[in-house]
Amino acid sequence: MHPALSILVFTVTSGFGYGLMTLLILSQLLGGSPFANVNAYLIAFFVAFVLMSIGLLSSTFHLANPKNAWRAFNRFRTSWLSREGVLALLYYPIALSYVAVLWINEWQTTVAAYVLGAVCVVLGFVLTHCTAMIYASLKTIPQWHTRRVPIGFCLFFIYSGVLAYALAVVSEGGSPLSAVWIAACVLALTGLVFKLKYFTFVGEPSKTTINTATTFTEATVRLFDTGHSAENFLQKEFAYVVGPKTQALARKAVLALAFIVPLVLSALQFSRESSSLSMAIAAVLCCYVGLLLERWLFFIEAKHVVRRFYGEQY
């Protein structure tokens, strides 16, 4: 699949945003504010909002006719994209009310805060699930049409949230609880294993072959003529390929940047007296770039079945 930059940026950046928001809420509800001062808390919230919004905005960049983007809320009955849109819209007032309730109650976790916070946390997961289902619902892309996709999206969203949250705390001069570093390590490790398994999974042949595409299931089928000389929309969109070397390199980079480096850094943080800011920054940056690359590969390795009509055997 052709990886549209705006979609990569959207899913990863808003993932960080929702993740950070979710962690901020969870920590508040479970153990009280980790921040020394109120402003730091507000700034963290603000950053989360900005990340979410950057993501959402960039998602409209790949639309060929953005003036109709508002109509995307219409088909929540069947469309995961529509559902994502509706929930994303819903998320703002709820998250803002949560912050407002905290603020009004001088950062005391009231029942209202509990309720709103819990809703927000759940919504974060549901929303991420919806985003993932946009891809996972496509029967046309065997590499996406799997439960692995929503699981992965949720995993990465909460993982990036944990790293972002840790950075937020460290940047305020604090040190997160060891549980946070442990969570980061566990999630990184899970992500690593998950991704390794996914790489094997995407290599599996699909049951949709050039033979089932053309109905000739009892003989070899070869594409002879595409019917057009230059690449068309279908080939540009669905038959976007990179060389095997680039692909192998990208896989290694994803594992290293998104998971191994943050894992090592988080383990080091855990073993330190006080957390290091530069290590926290490095972890987040590596993870961000790593996940962007992960999302890019997610597209590159997705083989839309239209490619069978263009000669791909399976």
Partner 1 sequence: MKLGLLIDLDTCVGCHGCATACKQWNTSGTIGPLSDSNPYGKDPDGAWLNRIRTYEVGDAPDSKTVHFPMSCLHCENADCVTVCPTGASYKREEDGIVLVDQDKCMGCNLCAWACPYGARELDHDQGVMKKCTLCVDRIYDQNLPEEERQPACVLTCPTSSRLFGDFDDPESEVSIKSRQRGGRDLMPELGYEPTNKYLPPREKATVEMFALDSTEDGFSLKSWVNKMIAR
Partner 2 sequence: MVHVLLKRRLIDEEFLVRYTNAPQLIIHAPGSAEHGLILRTDEGEPAVWDQVSENYASACDPNVSPALVGEYQTPDGRTVKTAMALILEKYSDLQYAPENAAEQCGIAAEDIERFALEMAQIAFKESIRIDTEWTDWAGRKHDHFIGRPVSMHAMRGISAHSNGFQTCRALHLLQALLGTIDCPGGHLAKPPYPKHIPPHIKPARTCAPNTPLESPPLGFPTSPEDLLIDENGDPLRIDKAYSWDAPIASHGMMHMVIRNAVNADPYSIDTLMLFMANMAWNSSMNTAETMNMLREKDDNGEYKIPFIVSCDAFHSETVNFSDLVIPDTTYLERYDTISMLDRPISEPHAACDAIRHPILNTDRDVRSWQEVLIELGGRLELPLFIDENGGRRYKDYKDFIINYEKTPGIGFLAGWRGENGDQHLVGAPNPKQWEAYIENESFFELKLADNQRFLRHSNQGYLEFAKNAGWVGSTDQIVIELYSETLQSFRLAGEGLYDGPTPKTEEQAERLVKYFDPLPFFYKPLEQQQQDENQYPFYAINQRPMHMYHSWDSQNAWLRQITSHNYMYMNRKQAIDLGIDDLGWAWVESHNGRIRVQVKYMEAVEKNTVWTWNAIGKQAGAWGLTKDANESHQGFLMNHLISESLPKQKSITNSDPITGQAAWYDLKVNIRAALAEEQGSWPEFDEVKTLPRQQSTPDSVSYATHSNVNLNRSNRDILTRGGLK
192-231 mask for partner 1 (x: CB under 8 A)?
A: ---------------xx-x-xxxxx--xxxxxxxxxxxxx
Q: In terms of CB distance, is 111 or 219 closer to partner 2? A: 219
As measured in angstroms, the least distance from the Cβ of 234 to partner 2 is 13
Is residue 245 close enough to count as binding partner 1 by CB under 8 A?
no
Distances in whole angstroms, Cα of residue 68 to Cα of each of 7, 60, 65, 71, 73? 18, 10, 6, 6, 10
DSSP state of 206: P
As measured in angstroms, the least distance from the Cβ of 141 to partner 1 is 7
175-214 mask for partner 2 (x: CB under 8 A)?
A: ----------------------------------------
As measured in angstroms, the least distance from the Cβ of 144 to partner 2 is 18
Q: Report the site for partner 1 in 92-121 (rule: CB under 8 A).
A: none
Task: Enumerate long-range contacts of 111-119, CB under 8 Å, 24 or more apart.
Answer: 113/28, 113/29, 114/29, 117/25, 117/26, 117/28, 117/29, 118/29, 119/94
As measured in angstroms, the least distance from the Cβ of 4 to partner 1 is 8
Distances in whole angstroms, Cα of residue 143 to Cα of each of 149, 157, 202, 299? 9, 20, 5, 9
Q: Please answer whether residues 79 and 58 qualify as being in contact, where contact means their C-beta atoms are separated by less than 8 angstroms.
A: no
Q: Which of 224, 233, 245, 271 binds partner 2 (CB under 8 A)?
A: 224
Is residue 67 close enough to count as binding partner 2 by CB under 8 A?
no
Gap between the Cα atoms of 140 and 195, Å rounded: 21
Q: Please answer whether residues 210 and 313 qualify as being in contact, where contact means their C-beta atoms are separated by less than 8 angstroms.
A: yes
Is residue 74 close enough to count as binding partner 1 by CB under 8 A?
yes
Cβ-Cβ contacts under 8 Å for 159 (sequence gap 6 or more)? 19, 184, 187, 188, 190, 191, 287
Is residue 78 close enough to count as binding partner 2 by CB under 8 A?
yes
Q: Report the site for partner 1 in 76-95 (rule: CB under 8 A).
A: 78-82, 85
Binding residues (CB under 8 A) for partner 2: these are 74-78, 222, 224, 227-230
